[in-house]
Amino acid sequence: MDGSDRGTLFVISAQSGTGKSTLARRLLESVPGLVFSVSHTTRPRRAGEQSGREYHFVDDAVFDAMVAEGGFLEWARVFDHKYGTGLAATESVLAKGADMLLDIDVSGAGQVRAKGLDAVSIFILPPDYASLTERLTRRGSEDPSALALRLREARREALEYDRFDYVVVNAELKEAVSELSAIVRAESARTARRRNRVTQILSTFPAPGTGA
Ligand code: ADP
Ligand code: 5GP
């Protein structure tokens, strides 16, 4: 970033079932001030999900109207449903200088990258295919055909890893959370993102020739 007061976008992507939502929740608990970007989606709500918390659940008409009026920073069709990051909500958080966490698919991550925004992208991988199958099955939120579709797409999506700034393997949950949080903290401390803070600190120093 250019030293302005704007926040940074942290984009995490992974194949469905890798544990991304679980990791995102833990990361938000461990990094104060990081704001989760609540996407809009046309997919039905799962048990335990709350509108406005995991997603804004909307119908096709509302989603398409938002697309038509340029209301999304990025959007994509993923597994038969549409998902998008609301532009206004993202803008208002970033403008206040807060960092945001986006949990979006690889195509959405590509769109964010193409916009040249201040973004850090992290790809999450399961330790192996068997763990992915096991986690997705255990979650039990998809019917067998939706589950098969997600697993069929898994290899193609994994091959996208090379377009991301970081790769985190979600083998042991605690370790993966700690790695993710280390990435977020280190990126936030980059010189370019600390310029305003440095300027503030320097403003407390006496001007040359006036100090002790
Ligand atoms: P995603 O958001 O990537 O689709 P979820 O966060 O819903 O995935 O996780 C899928 C399942 O895997 C959940 O039952 C979750 O508790 C489990 N899970 C997540 N991370 C791990 C891990 N490191 N080890 C074992 N199980 C995990
Ligand atoms: P799920 O239905 O399991 O919650 O999410 C399915 C996929 O959609 C996940 O890969 C998730 O990251 C992605 N996704 C969620 N929100 C968005 C979004 O706003 N934009 C894009 N491009 N993908 C999203």
Mean pLDDT by 10 residues, the chain (212 residues): 75 92 95 96 94 96 98 94 97 95 95 94 96 88 84 88 97 97 96 92 90 58
Distance 170 CA to ligand 1 centre (A): 9
Q: Any idea which residue has 């403008």 for tokens?
A: 95
**Quick one: pLDDT at residue 1?**
42
Q: Any idea which residue has 């999450």 for tokens?
A: 124
Tell whether pTM > 0.85.
yes
Q: Are 15 and 133 in contact (CB under 8 A)?
A: no
| CA 108 to ligand 2: nearest atom | 22
Q: Which ligand is nearest to the CA of 41?
A: 2
| CA 171 to ligand 1: nearest atom | 23
CA-to-CA distance for 190 and 63, rounded, in angstroms? 37
CA-to-CA distance for 100 and 90, rounded, in angstroms? 8
Q: Are 169 and 125 in contact (CB under 8 A)?
A: yes
CA-to-CA distance for 46 and 111, rounded, in angstroms? 27
**Quick one: pLDDT at residue 211?**
59
Burial label, 146 (beta-carbon count in 10 A; 0-12, 13-18, 19+): middle
Torsion (CA) 189, 89, 55, 71 in degrees, nearest 10: -120
CA-to-CA distance for 135 and 208, rounded, in angstroms? 61
